[in-house]
Structure 1
Amino acid sequence: MSLPTDVRTGDPTGLHRVLDDRLVLPQAAQRLDARADLWPDEVRVRVERLNLDAASFRQLERKHTKYGETSGDGVRAEVLDIVASRGKMQNPETGSGGMLVGTVEEVGPESPLGLAVGDRVATLISLTLTPLVIEDGLSGWDGRSEQVPCDGYAILFGRSIAAVIPDDLDPALSLSVMDVCGAPALTARVVGEYAARGQDPTVVVIGGAGKSGSLSLAAARRSGAGRTIGLVPHDAERDLLDEAGLADVVAVADARDPIALRDAVTAAGGPADITVVCVDVPGCEGGAILSTDEGGTVIFFSMATSFSAAALGAEGLAADVRMLVGNGYVPGHAAYAMELLRADAGVRSLFERRL
């Protein structure tokens, strides 16, 4: 396919694909140029499946639910409209997107990604900055799950990240793991920092039975946590997490209720030295801060987090805690998450239940 003749100069961050009047990075852009022609360092992927991030899908699901019944047609139509109008999948309410699985169909001559035509890959960057075109109207998706069968194409930039999917795993399972692989890698790094100082930290994972939560619990234990506490919202998830054996203690509380969350963590052996927030609902900042000991660390991995609420909440509580934003990228994060999945039967069982 011929290279674009556009006067814009290609940039490894994808600036040349931004169609806004002002210069912004692709993630912040309102519209991206999703033409199929490649700039020299780009890669085009034939898309097989999208994985909408949890916060985005839950918002769409709530918006299109009436009298307790979700309209899958409504969810599907809105996703199609977002992609068609923006040239990418970025929920305007949550600002988040997800990731995708597909097969490389063309590689620009200057691409640094090391991919070859025919490679089956999962993108490790957000759909919020990935030019995307859907060509099948999402006819194979009922609008009722985060994983979206899809035919179309996407464009990767010179600074994009993608991982070749392992041959021994179901692609849907690989996609689920890679969608959240930044969480366990950063959890392991932070727990490792404590362990290197001779500490055996108490680690609380809010949303411990979910995808990122279960991987984070496994990573915390492997990296030197002295005690792991999984926090879940109801008894059914407590039973799942108990069965998986990933936490030393499983506690039940509504993470949006700061006092209930603090009390549940305290009763389970807290406060935490490290609190990892992996839930996809807003309003969990205060409880996470209250559950963390002075001098401790809170890692926010939810796209539903309000970072102003976190900062102002910690100030208002006179809480001396370090707060980290999980940005989804740590070197080697995909391989590490896959290793956890293969090595820990509890993690794998929770992921397979959700497929």
Structure 2
Amino acid sequence: MTSSVGLERVLEPVGVLPQAAWRLDADPSIREDEVRVRVERLNLDAASYRQLSEKHSGDGDAIRAEVLEIVGTRGKMHNPVTGSGGMLIGVVDEVGPRSPLGVKVGDRVATLVSLTLTPLRITDGLSSWDGRSEQVPASGSAILFGRSIVGVLPDDLAPSLALAVYDVCGAPALTDRIVRQYDQPTVAVLGGAGKSGSLALAAARMAGARTVGIVRDEGEAASLRAAGIADAVAIADARNPVEVAAAVGEPATITVVCVDVPGCEHGAILATAPGGTVVFFSMATSFPAAALGAEGLAADVTMLIGNGYVPGHADFAVDLLRRVPAVRSLFEARLARD
């Protein structure tokens, strides 16, 4: 009997869900409720790519070799150090007769679930990727389950732009939901000039919040000021709790962490007002550090894991990109640099 959550794809250890598995079966033959996608491009999540780049001192050949080794060994792109993966775009190749995903052969789609649970084969050796960017041209196949999430790419966005937006589309949707639970809140976003950070700031502002963007240097600060989505912009090392709290100023009602480096938990907690909410969207977050740090600071804050899924999150993020041209410009500038 097939399973909508992909249990039959788990090779080891048996009995866990695909995300927790060490190794998946990436055979391209599909089961009745599965969909096979012909892979065109991977998007490695920021924390995973940063770890690989730092480990190999930016050596693109070495980074490419390790990504191939991970996928070949595990049957999925699941960085064993960061525990994170990313997502992909491609074209639907085959749809099982019992698939509930609502896609058809020939649709160009983005997978809205993590590569850490997506059976993946690479067939071109990533020969078109220089290893120096998060976006990875690739050929191969990926398998989606009955309970996977997938979005058909919009016609008015370049595939690389759509992929970048879909990669972080949970952040603005959840930020919008939380902002609407408070009366005239202040929202501070650590990493406000990045992909998820800029969308979170735009979503918060459109929902009526006062917004504060925290960035790492003057270049990012200038870009964020020009975008006009933050009422205040400040520079701080997100790993320095006192510096972050000072940069935010009056404690924020909601603090959103979108920084792809470890060690940012305590600053976010310290910068948040009693009764407020901290949302961790970074895969570099240590949740023991967050929990114990909040306890040690006697911080009465709600802490949430941004799990990347809110109903309607993909459409919400794409609509935000269309309505706020400055955010689109930030994304396009980042893609051009990469």
TM-score between both structures, scaled by the size of structure 1: 0.94
SS at structure 1 position matched to 2:198: helix
- Of residues 247, 250, 263 in structure 1, which corresponds to 2:246? 263
In the alignment, which residue of structure 1 is the partner of 2:46?
54
In the alignment, which residue of structure 1 is the partner of 2:206?
222
In the alignment, which residue of structure 2 is the partner of 1:345?
325
- Of residues 221, 231, 234 in structure 2, which corresponds to 1:248? 231
Structure 1 residue 10, shift from structure 2 partner? 1.3
In the alignment, which residue of structure 2 is the partner of 1:320?
300
In the alignment, which residue of structure 1 is the partner of 2:71?
83
Q: Distance in 2 between matches of 1:57 and 1:20?
A: 25
CA contact (8 A) 2:13 2:22 kept: no
1:156 is the counterpart of 2:138 = no
1:178 is the counterpart of 2:174 = no
Matches within 5 A, 1:249-328: 249-266=232-249, 270-328=250-308
Q: Distance in 2 between matches of 1:141 and 1:114?
A: 31
Matches within 5 A, 1:59-208: 59-65=51-57, 70-194=58-182, 199-208=183-192
1:208-238 CA distance string (max 9 Å, x none):
000000000000011121x100000111100
- Stretches of structure 2 lacking an aligned partner (at least 5 in a row): none
CA contact (8 A) 2:254 2:276 kept: yes
In the alignment, which residue of structure 2 is the partner of 1:331?
311
Q: Distance in 1 between matches of 2:319 and 2:13?
A: 44
Q: Distance in 2 between matches of 1:324 and 1:222?
A: 21
SS at structure 1 position matched to 2:19: helix
Post-superposition, which runs of at least 4 consecutive aligned residues in structure 1 deviate over 4 A? Answer: none
Q: Distance in 2 between matches of 1:21 and 1:332?
A: 33
1:9-40 CA distance string (max 9 Å, x none):
31000011000143100000000000011110
Q: Distance in 1 between matches of 2:35 and 2:165?
A: 23
Q: Distance in 2 between matches of 1:58 and 1:136?
A: 23
Q: Distance in 1 between matches of 2:22 and 2:138?
A: 23
Q: Specify the code of the residue in structure 2 equivalent to 1:43.
A: V
Paired-residue identity, %: 70
Q: Distance in 1 between matches of 2:78 and 2:136?
A: 15
CA contact (8 A) 2:68 2:125 kept: yes
Q: Specify the code of the residue in structure 2 equivalent to 1:104.
A: V
1:244-292 CA distance string (max 9 Å, x none):
11100001000000011111111xxx21000000000000000000000
TM-score between both structures, scaled by the size of structure 2: 0.98
Q: Specify the code of the residue in structure 2 equivalent to 1:272.
A: A
Aligned residues: 335
Q: Specify the code of the residue in structure 2 equivalent to 1:48.
A: E
Q: Distance in 1 between matches of 2:113 and 2:48?
A: 16
Q: Distance in 2 between matches of 1:45 and 1:303?
A: 25
In the alignment, which residue of structure 1 is the partner of 2:31?
39
Q: Distance in 2 between matches of 1:135 and 1:292?
A: 47
CA contact (8 A) 2:13 2:21 kept: no
Structure 1 residue 329, shift from structure 2 partner? 0.1
- Stretches of structure 1 lacking an aligned partner (at least 5 in a row): 1-8
Q: Distance in 2 between matches of 1:22 and 1:148?
A: 30
Structure 1 residue 192, shift from structure 2 partner? 0.8
More displaced 10-residue stretch of structure 1: 40-49 or 12-21: 12-21
1:325-349 CA distance string (max 9 Å, x none):
1000000000000000000011101
In the alignment, which residue of structure 2 is the partner of 1:3?
none
Q: Distance in 1 between matches of 2:13 and 2:266?
A: 38
In the alignment, which residue of structure 2 is the partner of 1:235?
218
Q: Distance in 2 between matches of 1:322 and 1:168?
A: 38
